[in-house]
C-alpha cells in the first residue's frame, strides 16, 4: 500500500525566474536540500546592465537555472520530484497519520472541516456538518489518493486511524456539538 509516486518536473520557461524593474534585473531562486535534508533557497541576480540587456540577462538566468536543475540536491527539493505518499507518522500537523489531511475550524463559526491538500497548491475541504465526521474524513482521504495517484487504502486501516483520532479529540467534539457517526 505504501507505493510512492514520482512525477516528472514540468519546467516552463519562467520556472524559478523572476523580474525586477527597479533595479532592472532577472533573479533566480532555486530550492535545494542542505546536508541535513532541510529545504533551503539559493538565489542569484542577473542585471540587465551587466549582461547587455533584458533578453541577454534572461538567457543567462535561464542557463544558470537549467544548470542548477541538474544537481541532485535541487532535484530532491523540487516539489514535483519528491515522492508523494499517503501514510506518515502521527503528529500534530498530521493527526490521522495521513499526509495532507487534517481537521480545521473555519473562522469564527463553529463549523469544522476535514481539509485535504496535495502538490501544486491543491486544497479542498469537506464539512463535518454536511457529511458527518466519518464522511468528511473518508472523502478527504479518497480525494488525496486521487490527486497523488495511489489506490485507496484499506477501509479497516482508515477506521483504526479515524477511531484513534476520535478518542484523542472527544472533548473537542463535545465542545462543538459534533456527533461521531
Q: What is the mean pLDDT of the chain?
A: 80
Query: Which band of pLDDT confidence, cut at 50, 70 and 90, is reported for residue 123?
Result: confident
**69: which DSSP letter?**
T
* 73-82 pLDDT tens trace: 888 777 554 4
Please enumerate in sequence order all residues whose Cβ is within 8 A of that of 116, keeping only pairs 6 or more positions apart, or say none.
Answer: 100, 101, 123, 124, 125, 126, 140, 141, 143, 144, 147
Query: Which band of pLDDT confidence, cut at 50, 70 and 90, is reported for residue 148?
Result: confident
Of 61-65, 149-153, 171-175, the one with minimum mean pLDDT is: 171-175
* 22-80 pLDDT tens trace: 899 999 999 888 888 888 899 999 999 999 999 999 999 999 999 998 898 888 777 55
Query: Which band of pLDDT confidence, cut at 50, 70 and 90, is reported for residue 1?
Result: very low
Of 34-43, 83-92, 109-118, 150-159, the one with minimum mean pLDDT is: 83-92
Query: Edge-to-edge strands of the sheet including 101-105?
Result: 101-105, 112-117, 123-127
Label residue 166 exposed, middle or buried (CB < 10 Å: 0-12, 13-18, 19+): middle
Amino acid at each position: 500500500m505504501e507505493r510512492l509516486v514520482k512525477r516528472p518536473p514540468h519546467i516552463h520557461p519562467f520556472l524559478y525566474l523572476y523580474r525586477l524593474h527597479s533595479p532592472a534585473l532577472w533573479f533566480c531562486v532555486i530550492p535545494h536540500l542542505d546536508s541535513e535534508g532541510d529545504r533551503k533557497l539559493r538565489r542569484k541576480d542577473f542585471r540587465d546592465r551587466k549582461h547587455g540587456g533584458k533578453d541577454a540577462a534572461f538567457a543567462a538566468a535561464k542557463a544558470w537555472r537549467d544548470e542548477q536543475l541538474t544537481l541532485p540536491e535541487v532535484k530532491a527539493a523540487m516539489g514535483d520530484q519528491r515522492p508523494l505518499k499517503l501514510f506518515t507518522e502521527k503528529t500534530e500537523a498530521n493527526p490521522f497519520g495521513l499526509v495532507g489531511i487534517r481537521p480545521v475550524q473555519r473562522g469564527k463559526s463553529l463549523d469544522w472541516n476535514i481539509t485535504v491538500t496535495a502538490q501544486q497548491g491543491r486544497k479542498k475541504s469537506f464539512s463535518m456538518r454536511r457529511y458527518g465526521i466519518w464522511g468528511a474524513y473518508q472523502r478527504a482521504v479518497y480525494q488525496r489518493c486521487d490527486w497523488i495517484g495511489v489506490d485507496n487504502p484499506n477501509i479497516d486501516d482508515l477506521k483504526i486511524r479515524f477511531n484513534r483520532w476520535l478518542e484523542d479529540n472527544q472533548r473537542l467534539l463535545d465542545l462543538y456539538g459534533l456527533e461521531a457517526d
